[in-house]
Amino acid sequence: MPRMSMIEAIRDAMDVAMGRDDDVVVFGEDVGYFGGVFRCTQGLQQKYGKHRCFDTPISELGIVGTAIGMGAYGLKPCVEVQFADYVYPAYDQIVSEAARLRYRSNGQFTCPLVIRMPTGGGIFGGQTHSQSPEALFTHVAGLKTVVPSNPLDAKGLLIAAIEDPDPVIFLEPKRLYNGPFDGHHDRPVTAWSKHPLGEVPAGHYTVPLGKAEVRRAGADVTVLAYGTMVHVAEAAAADTGIDAEIVDLRTLVPYDLDTIAASVRKTGRCVVVHEATLTSGFGAELSALVQETCFYHLEAPVGRVAGWDTPYPHAQEWDYFPGPARVGRALAEAMEA
């Protein structure tokens, strides 16, 4: 099986989708000739032509707004916002337009749009290259929100997202692009080529939207995580020796309540983890859902580990980033409670 980094897997997903369907077009800032600042679209313009993969002016509003028009025409745009931190200029088009087009037109017009964005911290990117804005999308009816944690999923989820008839926010944890990252920033980085989830089948396959995956089975406590935090949670389990069951949500909305509830009912304890700021983060929804569905199984309060409620700092990156030590403490607390 080919081994791919997450960048290669994402590129391959677009390649496969463009190869199968002429209506798939890819565009964004620097994605055409250059192939994207993270090189996720490298080679696509050469292969499919400038009319299927092209550079745009620096206007996230324009990128998403024109993509919505293209979707209404019948194309399937898969656009890149250079960093998730730069999605806000397009927020109105996403929330007021993409998310509601099918509903408000009673299906006459639809919006089969994918918005890819690098998300999350861990690269000393400061306030504007580190944010995790997923909760600003999960609150919006009509959007699906996906966060892969590895190359295998990334490719399958991205193909599924492109084939999905509705708008999908596709957040790519940039700290995972070149290798898994478990939050031990002081240890050498290993590449995806050494990781089983870096084995990525060639050609077409999908990972269905809305299905979580148990990444590590465990008896003691359920960890709900996605993206980079899946790896951090694994490290925390290893570091603490706590037998955590780690659920990789993969899709935040629609969420996979069956998998979540089954795990928590089994373990009786739950810790939710994300990089985004704590207050009103998606972790709040998960915590609320868990206690609504598993109240009588819970032996401890649902814990949350998240980014602090501050802008993402530069120098204090590792004080901010919810690493394995913090997650480990939360697991221990859940066990003690």
| Active site members | 129
3-state DSSP call for residue 153? helix
State the virtual CA torsion across 42, 202, 169, 318 in degrees, nearest 10. Answer: -80
C-alpha neighbours within 13 Å on the C-beta side of residue 337: 18
Which residues contact residue 160 at a Cβ distance below 8 angstroms, ignoring those fewer than 6 apart? 206, 207, 208, 209
Place of tokens 């990781």: 195
| Dist. CA 182–CA 234, nearest whole Å | 7
Binding mask 241-260 for its own copies (x = CB under 8 A): ------------x-------
Amino acid sitting at position 56: T
Whether residue 265 contacts residue 217, with contact meaning beta carbons closer than 8 Å, is answered with no
Task: Report the alpha-carbon distance of residue 147 to residue 136 in Å, rounded.
Answer: 14
CA nearest 87: which of 132, 35, 123? 132
CA 255 to chain centre: 13
Q: Does 280 bind another protein (CB under 8 A)?
A: no
Instruction: Name residues contacting ligand TPP, limited to 86-105 (CB under 6 A).
Output: 86, 89
User: What x-and-dash track marks residues 197-226 binding another protein by CB under 8 A?
Assistant: -------------x----------------
Least CB distance from residue 326 to ligand TPP, whole Å? 29
Q: Which is nearer to ligand TPP, 1 or 58 (CB)?
A: 58
- Does 130 bind ligand TPP (CB under 6 A)? Our answer is no
The listed partner (ligand TPP, another protein, its own copies, none) that binds 241, CB under 5 to 8 Å by sort, is: none
- State the minimum distance, in angstroms, from the CB of residue 34 to ligand TPP: 11
Instruction: Indicate the residue type of 267.
Output: T
Burial class (CB in 10 A: 0-12, 13-18, 19+), 103: exposed
Q: Does 58 bind ligand TPP (CB under 6 A)?
A: yes
Q: Which is nearer to another protein, 238 or 278 (CB)?
A: 278
Q: Among residues 2 and 89, whose Cβ is nearest to ligand TPP?
A: 89
Site string for another protein, 19-58 (x = CB under 8 A): ------x---xx-xxx--x------------xxx-xxxxx
Of 10-18, 141-149, 176-184, 232-240: span binding another protein (CB under 8 A): 141-149
Residues 274-313 that bind its own copies (CB under 8 A): 276-277, 279-285, 287-288, 291-292, 295, 298, 300-304, 308-311
- Can you tell me which of 257, 300, 332, 335 binds another protein, judged by CB under 8 A? 257
